[in-house]
Amino acid sequence: MSTQSQDQSEIFRGTADGKTLLKDSRSVQGTPAASMPAFILGEELADLADNDPRIVVATADLATANRTSDFRARHPRRFFDFGIAERNMITAAAGMASTGLIPYVATFAAFSGILAAEQIRTDCAYPKMPVRIVGSHSGMSMGFYGTSHHALEDIGMMRTVADLTIVNATDANHLRAILRKSVDHPGAMYIRLGRGRDPVVYDTVPSDFAFGRATRLRDGSDITIMTYGAQVRPSLDAAQRMEKAGFSVRVVDMHTIKPLDFHEIKAAVDETGAILTVEEHNVIGGLGSAMAEALIDLPRIPFQRHGVPDKFVEVGPPAALYAHYQLDAEGIYNVASAFLKPRG
């Protein structure tokens, strides 16, 4: 057996030295480490735990990769590493919650929202246990590690679980707001994080954040782009480019997939000419499907889903995958423009 360290977090976050082979120059350029969600998770939870003895944190052999190690350093007696036993971790967290604790359990989204879906359903959501499942490195952000580590079906799986809140963090400040509001939120919650290098969208922690209430980041009348998580910034960049081409584009951060903000959806129907959903998820089961379900009860409007096709994606650097599936700013611009042009 190799004695090489199992700590792959520098590779996952794209901060390893230039000799590391699993890198792509387009994938590692981004925001400073201090403003990456993967770096502030443990720090923010430790801050909250300073004044709330109910908060405990668990991970599954990924304390460094998801930075729950920052929580461990400050609250070692309230930190639990279960090793590579994600389903056991979530069941144990439900047990902790039954005693009055508020557990935050963090692992890759592929190992929580997909691998441990049954435990989230039966042990957390069904008995309404306040367990916060944090799924990091969602979507295609694990690029080189392939389908076993990609999480492009997790929202679809989680949406079918009753009494489960589903929310997506857009950037570091957005994650701080989510964590602060999550402490006393009733029932179980699935918090989806991106690759840890998400560009800044919120310059400060949004004080008006609320679960189930979308955030309109840009107004417009020709089309509404509804998106979340890692796709918010490229959607905003695409909207800016579309404005120069003569389109008026509204961009909405639909961070909470369950419950959806029906009022914001109705406003898009009443006030704009079309709706496009953009997500780093299979086009089946995610925001696009949720929107289609909501639109059934509203006046008809041109509507299109944009995400990952219903197939297993290629293996490669994350940035190359985003470009390939038109989930970068240029790709979103092309998809949205092509959607609008036949309609004048």
Q: Catalytic residues, which ones?
A: 86
Distances in whole angstroms, Cα of residue 163 to Cα of each of 14, 113, 121, 202, 339: 36, 15, 9, 28, 35
Three-state SS at 331: helix
Backbone CA torsion sign across 84, 85, 87, 91: negative
Contact by Cβ (8 Å): 334, 326: yes
Neighbours of 50 (CB within 10 A): 11
Contact by Cβ (8 Å): 135, 108: yes
Tokens of 173: 């400040």
Strands (E), the chain: 55-59, 79-81, 102-108, 132-136, 164-168, 188-192, 215-218, 223-227, 249-253, 256-258, 275-282, 303-308
Burial of 51 (0-12, 13-18, 19+ CB in 10 A): exposed
d(CA 41, CA 260): 25
d(CA 94, CA 129): 6
The residue assigned the tokens 């359903």 is 121
Within 8 A by CB and 6+ apart from 5, the residues are none
The residue assigned the tokens 């609320």 is 210
**If we measure between CA atoms, which residue out of 261, 57, 67 comes closest to residue 166?**
261
